[in-house]
Structure 1
Amino acid sequence: MSKHVTPILFFICAIFAQAQSSSENFLEPTQDSIKKREFIKHLGNGYMPTRYFNFDLRYLIKYNQYEGVRTGIGGVTNDAFSEKYRLNGYGVYGFRDHRFKYSAGGGFRVDKKTNTWINLSYTDDLQETGSTKFLTDGRFFQFFEPRLLNIDLFHKLITKSINLEHQLNPKLFTEAEFAVSNIDPTYNYGYVLSNNIIVNSFHLSTAKVSLQWNPFSKFETIKNELKETKKGYPQFTLQYTKSFKNVFKSDFNFSKLDFRTIYKIGNEDEGLSEITLVSGITNGNTPLTHLYHAYPNNITKEAILQRFSVAGLNSFETMYFNEFFSDKFTTVQLKHYLKPFNISEHYKPQVVLITRYAIGDIKKPELHQNVTFGSLKKGYTESGFEINKFLYGFGLSFTYRYGFYHLPEFSDNIAFKFTFNVSL
């Protein structure tokens, strides 16, 4: 895998540097500095703004084990196009699976004061098996997505959805969605239904309701829009998912309840402690695609240097991909950012101490055919440290796996990787 990391990372960093350089050339010094800051802000959020349309840098280039190099283009209309309507979409191509993927959608604002939007979308793409996304998370952008490089377990997903966004009050944001999906795993998989019929691909009709509560954040109305001006902690996210059997030919009847809380104490300049707790539980016949995998980030190779890759932000670095799946789980991650070394104005490396814990279980693993995985019911533990921003945004990460799931071969419990941190 490592032979692919360097050219892709170099390409992404080059795009970032060029975009930053372009922003400086694009804006004359005599222009308002606010416009320059807005441009840089868009860039930091992963957009290249134009007059009516913002190009989305997330789709420019990526890499994973199934698609190989994945490249394309996407974007969304901005307020200059319309403050009441928006159009969005993307198109990408995978050079290893030789397949186009795309999404097209749009929305209209019902009420500006409560930021209420109704959105429609059609998506034909891939999704990582065992992953969970909260609707209210909205947009998340990284110039470089570490875990994506090593993921190989995907399922094809064709989804038609209708979505409602609504701000109940400044500190409570809600989102609801109804979706109809056709799911086809890209790997050999079968699920045994109650009537002993094995399905390899299936239909799902799901309803989701998600709540994001930030009780300690501060908000202000800027240009007639409510914006979060200061993040306060803890923050809480809750999501309920229900799949309806026989609705639009849906094959499964299950429910999921997911919860996350994030708490931060201090600040990165003087020392910061961060606690993240994520928990989820499913009930009913739930296929592997919708179970939990605890976000592993280690590839199955014999030698430590063969497993040398990039550490994720909130992933278990010593847990191997597809090693565990659960229908109920909880993870706790503790991070402590030491005060940065103030070597110079632009060179301030920082040490981060990390401990992660995961526990989970699965009731009937025998219903999942042609796949082999373990249970987390004994509790999984790893600890380590990172040295971030050591050189041009790059750093190093060292993590050790111990406890009940400690492996017989000492070197198999070690994850040695590099980190990448860039901020605008």
Structure 2
Amino acid sequence: MFAFSLHAQNPTEKDAESKQDSIKRKEFLKQLGNGFFPTKYFNSDLRYLIKYNQYEGVRTGLGAVTNDAFSKKYRLNSYVVYGFRDGRFKYSIGGGFRVAKKTNTWINVSYTDDLQETGSTKFLTDKRFFQFFEPRLLNIDLFHKHVTKAIAIEHQLLPELLTETELAVSNIDPTYSYGYVLDNNAVIHSFHLSTAKVALQWSPFSQFKSTKNGLTETKAGYPKFTLQYTKSFNDVFKSEFSFSKLDFRTIYKIGNEKDKFSEITLVSGIANGNTPLTHMYHAYPNNITKETVMQRFSVAGLNSFETMYFNEFFSDKFATFQFKHFVKPFNISQRYKPQLVLISRYAIGDMKNPEKHQNITFGSLKNGYTESGFEINKLLFGFGLSFTYRYGAYHLSQFTDNFAFKFTFNVSL
């Protein structure tokens, strides 16, 4: 005599499984949108898979960070990349441990041997916010090598206030011919820096909730504010420069992103003391020096000056203002909805002692730089077109040199 039974899923069990699958898919897409491909014990960092710039050519590699399945108190992170044009490996290795769960307080250490764009400023808190595609990187050619040892503390002071403090020692070696004239008239070509940084990311109008993965922003509110102070100490761990920098950024959005809305971005910075060009400011230029408009055809950045040529201006104090108005998407079909964006940008800046920077020529922004134009985004597979015109105090004598015509690329998960 045989006995057997069949167990059929009831609707409640099916609904539970379906809901669980939906949660898993949502979490996977969220991780992907944050730049990670999740696996069991670590997440692959997609930022290092492949990039391109004018100095390294194709830059490709692998990066990873451990996840909660590995440990909720400790983490390891690392990457290694190779530039085919400069024929050199770059890498970073680091780790951290959590000292307070409620405030998401971590102490991190790292060792990095890599490149950084000259004149660029990185906010410490920005590393938590992933940008899927960085088109401006394609055209950058002015880099400096740096070997940096750092220790940092990240701390959620309030749900709306994210902080990070870093102490770092760096060896800096520009990849281009450059010298800085110090007060004793000695010209320094490569140098050591010992720096302390404090960064604050304040989102007073955002909404947050506590989850098993920590504090999560459930609704983005605007404006958002970022402030960072940097101090370089002379004669500390062989540091040769004493300077300070104060950097500020605010982003404000007005309207509904699913309809029509406007976005305002204000960025400013000031450097005091003996500051090498590597740590000065550019104004996010994104135009390559070629003869015709079509030879300069490339990919437009997200918040860059499309008609400003690379290495055209450097400043020790500057401010940029960018206004974008996103017109309501054209509802051509359910999946095909191109969008027109009207753009205007303004930059102003100056440099106190440009003669201290040897073997490089650049201009001043003290008269104010202006460009305006428009984008038509999402025409085909996320690609669109951008058209920008340069006018005002820095209008060029050759009429066509004032135009920038480029691709745009927008993708969201």
- TM-score, normalised with respect to structure 1: 0.92
Distance 1:120 1:138 in 2: 15
* Aligned residue in 2 for 1:205: 194
What are structure 2's unaligned runs of at least 5 residues? 1-16
In structure 2, which of residues 207, 224, 235 is the aligned counterpart of residue 235 of structure 1? 224
1:284 offset after TM fit, Å?
0.2
1:270 aligns with 2:259: yes
* Aligned residue in 1 for 2:372: 383
1:139 offset after TM fit, Å?
3.1
In structure 2, which of residues 49, 53, 62 is the aligned counterpart of residue 60 of structure 1? 49
1:143 offset after TM fit, Å?
3.9
Distance 1:50 1:129 in 2: 35
The amino acid across from 2:182 in the alignment is L
Offset from partner CA, 1:338-379 (integer Å, 9 cap, x none): 000011111100000000000000000000000000000000
State which drifts further: 184-193 or 142-151.
142-151
* Aligned residue in 2 for 1:255: 244
* Aligned residue in 1 for 2:88: 99
In structure 2, which of residues 343, 356, 380 is the aligned counterpart of residue 354 of structure 1? 343
Distance 2:22 2:291 in 1: 53
SS at structure 2 position matched to 1:37: helix
Q: CA RMSD in A?
A: 1.2
* Aligned residue in 1 for 2:68: 79
The amino acid across from 1:368 in the alignment is H
In structure 2, which of residues 304, 307, 311 is the aligned counterpart of residue 322 of structure 1? 311
What are structure 1's unaligned runs of at least 5 residues? 1-27
In structure 1, which of residues 35, 40, 44 is the aligned counterpart of residue 29 of structure 2? 40
1:266 offset after TM fit, Å?
0.5
Distance 2:339 2:244 in 1: 42
1:23-422 equivalence runs, <5 A: 32-223=21-212, 225-422=214-411
1:32 offset after TM fit, Å?
1.7
1:138 offset after TM fit, Å?
2.3
The amino acid across from 1:84 in the alignment is K
Higher radius of gyration, 1 or 2: 2
* Aligned residue in 1 for 2:5: none
Distance 2:111 2:242 in 1: 23
The amino acid across from 2:374 in the alignment is F
The amino acid across from 1:220 in the alignment is K
Distance 1:274 1:385 in 2: 14
Distance 1:145 1:309 in 2: 13
Distance 1:183 1:204 in 2: 8
Distance 1:223 1:160 in 2: 32
Distance 1:73 1:268 in 2: 34
Give the 3 Å change call, closer, same or farther, for CA 123–410 of structure 1 in structure 2.
same
SS at structure 2 position matched to 1:42: helix
Distance 2:145 2:324 in 1: 35
Distance 1:170 1:45 in 2: 20
1:30 offset after TM fit, Å?
9.2
State which drifts further: 40-49 or 406-415.
40-49
Distance 2:361 2:19 in 1: 63
The amino acid across from 2:392 in the alignment is G
SS at structure 2 position matched to 1:125: strand
Distance 1:170 1:140 in 2: 16
Distance 1:79 1:30 in 2: 22
- TM-score, normalised with respect to structure 2: 0.95
The amino acid across from 1:414 in the alignment is F
1:270 offset after TM fit, Å?
1.7
| Equivalent residues, number | 397
Distance 1:402 1:410 in 2: 10
The amino acid across from 1:389 in the alignment is K
Distance 1:31 1:361 in 2: 57
Distance 2:267 2:158 in 1: 24
State which drifts further: 282-291 or 262-271.
262-271
SS at structure 2 position matched to 1:96: coil
Distance 1:373 1:30 in 2: 59
1:392 offset after TM fit, Å?
1.0
1:112 offset after TM fit, Å?
0.3
Offset from partner CA, 1:201-255 (integer Å, 9 cap, x none): 0000000001111111111112262111111111111100000000000000000
